[in-house]
Structure 1
């Protein structure tokens, strides 16, 4: 893994969730229908997806496992490729279910209370304990980092049409950069901002010809996950 893991993965996760919650808390029904950086999803669809991810983390943190670890905070993402089987069905599921909330405030409040609970669960967990999620075994600390990365990337997705919205946490962006460096096997060009790296590294934006030249043979590996 390139770079350093967060010194306190629970705190890093909590600050990432707090930053995202600050955006969601300001959203009304009209804003909930704005497009996002995720193909086919409006803001409310993405909020539902993030709610489900926080719920998954909450369950995982309370599901101890005795099996050996088979993924870390970087290799966890090696299974996540653009347009993986079932991706379209997952997008459709979120759209249908998010539309069932006639009052966006209900979804907003459910998201806020769930990420708050997940943050508390992370603070109480032993980072070295083994937990299971998505068919893999990770340490709780590495799970927290993957949740941070997910929350931060989707925070950037959520605000593409919300120019006045709060930015992701610095710790969350650092976790994304470290994860992408680990998948790339080397640091990205140092002049790339954290936000730009997050977008090109996950396929939200395409590499320019100059960026491909700077990356050399590694360019074909982009997006690193999606």
Structure 2
């Protein structure tokens, strides 16, 4: 619960500090500019608000780890991805997009901080406890924070606690440990296919090559 707030606040602060020109840079998320990524975060914040307002009475069907699925790498053909790009372009003024994320993002953060961790909520046809639902989003916020930093290296990166937790979650999703020689940041980027391994990293990953990358959805 605390890591959700920590990682979400850090990501929003990083976006808030971006100069307007940085919104036109290519983000670390394939096919998306920074403005597209920020627009996606607005949609994510809306999803958090909707889910926290969607109580469920049945037993949980997923947890923070099983919430995630390994999917086919994005091709840009997904209708929601295309909508995100068009919507982001419609903002025109980066200040409006920055303001919208702050507005909706703050609104999502408040009920998350106040919610009963053991309450059950429904999303994407599944039921999770609030604790697990918000826990799943720690990985979401951390990966997208790395996508942002890939485009704007001067921006502050994700909190170390969020990186460590996200790495642990990714290892559980993958079903195998990631090489200790890789930092948390490198492990997350390489494992999810956000960048190829460096020559120095390749020997540590050779035995995992058939299993990588692990695009998540």
> Same-fold call, TM > 0.5?
yes
3-state SS in 2 of match to 1:67: coil
Aligned to 1:147, which of 131, 137, 156? 137
CA distance in structure 1 between the aligned counterparts of 2:161 and 2:43, rounded to whole angstroms: 22
Give the structure 2 partner of residue 187 of structure 1: 177
Q: Please identify, of 64-73 and 182-191, the stretch whose mean Cα deviation from structure 2 is larger.
A: 182-191
1:88-146 deviation digits (Å, cap 9, x = unpaired): 33322111000001211111111012222222111111111111112211111111011
Q: What secondary structure, in the 3-state scheme, does the structure 2 residue paired with 1:132 have?
A: strand
The gaps in structure 1 that reach 5 residues or longer are 1-8
Deviations 1:53-103 (A, max 9, x none): 11101111121101221111111112x413369853332211100000121
Q: CA deviation at 1:160?
A: 1.1
Map 1:60-79 onto structure 2 (within 5 A).
60-78=51-69
User: Which of the numbers 88, 93, 109 marks the counterpart of 2:83?
Assistant: 93
Q: Which moved more, 1:114-123 or 1:191-200?
A: 114-123
Tell me how far apart the structure 2 counterparts of residues 155 and 220 of structure 1 sit (CA, whole Å). Answer: 27
Q: Distance in 2 between matches of 1:135 and 1:55?
A: 17
Q: Report what 1:160 is aligned to.
A: 150
TM-score (norm 2): 0.90
- Once the two structures are TM-superposed, the CA of residue 174 in structure 1 deviates from its matched residue by 1.9
The counterpart of 1:108, out of the listed 98, 105, 113, is: 98
The answer (yes or no) to whether the contact 2:181–2:204 under 8 Å persists in 1 is no
**Which runs of 5 or more structure 2 residues have no equivalent in the other structure?**
none
CA gap 1:86/1:201 in 2 versus in 1, 3 angstroms: same
Give the TM-score taking structure 1 as reference length: 0.87
Mapped pair 1:13 → 2:13 = no
Matched residue count: 213
Of the three residues 105, 113, 116, the one matched with 1:123 is 113
Aligned counterpart, 2:18 = 27
Provide the secondary structure at the position in 1 that maps to 2:127.
strand
1:161 positional shift: 2.3
3-state SS in 2 of match to 1:77: coil
Aligned to 1:210: 203
C-alpha distance in 1 between matches for 2:54 and 2:78 = 29
Taking a change above 3 Å as real, the CA distance of residues 23 and 103 of structure 1, as seen in their structure-2 partners, is: same
Q: Distance in 2 between matches of 1:85 and 1:41?
A: 11
